[in-house]
Amino acid sequence: MILVIDVGNTNITCGVYEGETLKTTFRITTKIPRTSDEYGMMLTDLLKMNGIDKKQIEGCIIASVVPKVMHALNSACIRYIECNPLVVGPGTKTGIKITTDNPREIGADRIVDVVAAYEKYGGPVLVMDFGTATTYDLVTEDGCFGVGITAPGIGISAKALWEDTAKLPEIEIKKPKSILAKETVSSMQAGLVYGQIGQTEYIVGQVKKESGLSNLKVVATGGLGRIIADETDAIDIYDKTLTLDGLRIIYQKNAGK
């Protein structure tokens, strides 16, 4: 079994694979500072609660966009899981050719997502990740990743509404019954959800137009992606485990190292 760890700005998402089968997943909040011992105890306890003995873990891979947690998390994997993790970064074999102006600027999470989408669905493919930020990444038919768009995520937009205005409340992010809202909560939900749907449809359409790739597949992932994917034909596939699958694929490509 291998342990895959995706360190995002909001959550650390973990999964355990046996071969290509995802056996279990669990999450840890990213923003709370923790020591390596705290990470180690949490990982071993969560593995145990999900029916996994840490001795069954033969390998580990991490993709992170939060550098400040990496020393403690890496140390925890070595000490408590007894695995020296592969960290996705420059020099990691991915099977994707990054053709952006500065490849080192590309977040590990985006690389992992495009690897998974290209391996699972082929190219050309546009990968959308509805996370803390909403990202759109284009991979060509021959596996080149050179185009990316970054927008504020739904959560960031919602937080700005209720933190930067005096009277707007904190709300649940969900699609309201109608865009014709008649009170504050549903009006905020309408603006957030329908605004994201509109952004999605326009960006996907513009990418297809400017790239000339009319056969472009659009694959979405991320916690809030299901809400949007269910409401628009611009998204072909919603894949909730895309990032974890990408980590597994990259680990397998580098297993001989």
For residues 113 and 129, the answer to whether their CB atoms sit within 8 Å is: yes
Q: Which residue has the tokens 């865009």?
A: 179
Residue 78 CB burial class (10 angstroms; 0-12, 13-18, ≥19): middle
- Annotation marks residue 137 as catalytic: no
Backbone conformation region of residue 19, classed left if phi is above 0, alpha if psi is from -120 to 50, else beta: left
Name the strand (E) or helix (H) holding 193: helix 184-211
Residue 243 CB burial class (10 angstroms; 0-12, 13-18, ≥19): buried
Tell how strand 11-18 and strand 2-7 pair up.
Answer: antiparallel
User: Out of 6, 109, 129, 137, which one is annotated catalytic?
Assistant: 109
For residues 10 and 31, the answer to whether their CB atoms sit within 8 Å is: yes
Helices (H) and strands (E) in the chain, counts: 7, 11
Amino acid sitting at position 231: E
d(CA 20, CA 117): 15
In the chain, how long is the greatest CA-to-CA distance?
A: 60
User: Which sign does the torsion angle of CA 187, 170, 231, 154 carry?
Assistant: positive
Amino acid sitting at position 15: G
Q: Which residues are catalytically annotated?
A: 109
